[in-house]
Structure 1
């Protein structure tokens, strides 16, 4: 007999408009859309887990490299100064040290933690093994961290600021700036590739 929990497991809620559906069977490379707002609800793909892990590892490497390499150099009056994300964060002191912690937290630590949790969740699934211990809690926590993961937002914000700063001084993009640019593209690609419903379904098995 089916209990109430089984019935709830068959339901899916649109993350945009909160409309509730009974989850349909969706084949690989097909998509299920919300009838009200046309948000993609289910989009399973073969070998998506391996691709997500590869992208997550790539972003982890980019974050680590972009943190220590020079982000930009500013030249004015014959003087040129380079700075990395770490240099900028540790340049604050006193009450502003809280800002340094926030910079590292939102653009380095939280994005990296999300990716580590995602790899932890997906690694057993792609090997056709039972989910890792506490995999559901780990994936739920990684999703809760999503609004606070701002590495790509930081990159876009810096790009806008540097365009305005170029009127006052010579601005040179360092290696970290290009790493962040690549990071933005990969993060968007991985988000489009991820089917959260498929992951949750795999964790129930």
Structure 2
């Protein structure tokens, strides 16, 4: 039995052909959307997002210059900016929300889906890994960080000269790739495939 995520109506789902959609009989919300090759696409997008995360952390993020003074910053500088005194917990929160949790979520998705994408049985603990990935989704806030940076740039653009570094564009690409990955992923299809492959 599957509950509709919108209206909680229970459904007994049968096999849904690839390329079609199963909708709620009450509110017509989409329940399942199996796609051919979706797991491979999800793995490739997740791996790409991990590479972009490394680039976003490793490379310069912003260069600011005003009145002859220049300031170079990176994501690490952002995290450590609050590392003194009572603001230390804020540094841990920033690191967790924009780097650690998104990275853990991507790794969990790859661990849960990659063996099935190449035709093997799910890895041990795949269900727990996929559940972790879904539970972390509201807390992985790399996209919120990018929106905040853009808002800040609009406000300081008239006071200083701003040069965007490679890490800024890596974060933009990371947000786009992660959004595309979430679009391709049908949670119910993944859960159903995990159950079927585990019992086969």
TM-score, normalised relative to structure 1:
0.89
Instruction: State yes or no: 1:85 paired with 2:68.
Output: no
Unaligned segments of structure 1, at least 5 residues = 1-10
Pick aligned residue for 1:41 from 13, 17, 31: 31
Give 3-state SS (helix, strand or coil) of 2:102's partner: helix
Which shows bigger deviation, 147-156 or 14-23? 14-23
Give 3-state SS (helix, strand or coil) of 1:184's partner: helix
- Mapped to 1, the partners of 2:151 and 2:9 lie a distance apart of 37
Give 3-state SS (helix, strand or coil) of 1:145's partner: helix
- Mapped to 2, the partners of 1:164 and 1:31 lie a distance apart of 44
- Mapped to 2, the partners of 1:21 and 1:157 lie a distance apart of 40
Aligned residue pairs total 195
Instruction: State yes or no: 1:112 paired with 2:103.
Output: yes
Q: How does 1:1-205 map to 2 (within 5 A)?
A: 11-92=1-82, 93-205=84-196
Cα shift at 1:19: 2.6
Give 3-state SS (helix, strand or coil) of 1:75's partner: strand
- Mapped to 1, the partners of 2:75 and 2:45 lie a distance apart of 22
RMSD of aligned Cα (Å): 1.5
Cα shift at 1:140: 0.8
- Mapped to 2, the partners of 1:39 and 1:57 lie a distance apart of 30
- Mapped to 2, the partners of 1:69 and 1:148 lie a distance apart of 24
- Mapped to 2, the partners of 1:149 and 1:34 lie a distance apart of 29
Unaligned segments of structure 2, at least 5 residues = none
Give 3-state SS (helix, strand or coil) of 2:62's partner: strand
* Cα deviation 1:170-195 (Å, max 9, x = unaligned): 22211111111111111111111001
- Mapped to 1, the partners of 2:8 and 2:75 lie a distance apart of 38
- Mapped to 1, the partners of 2:135 and 2:80 lie a distance apart of 28
TM-score, normalised relative to structure 2:
0.91
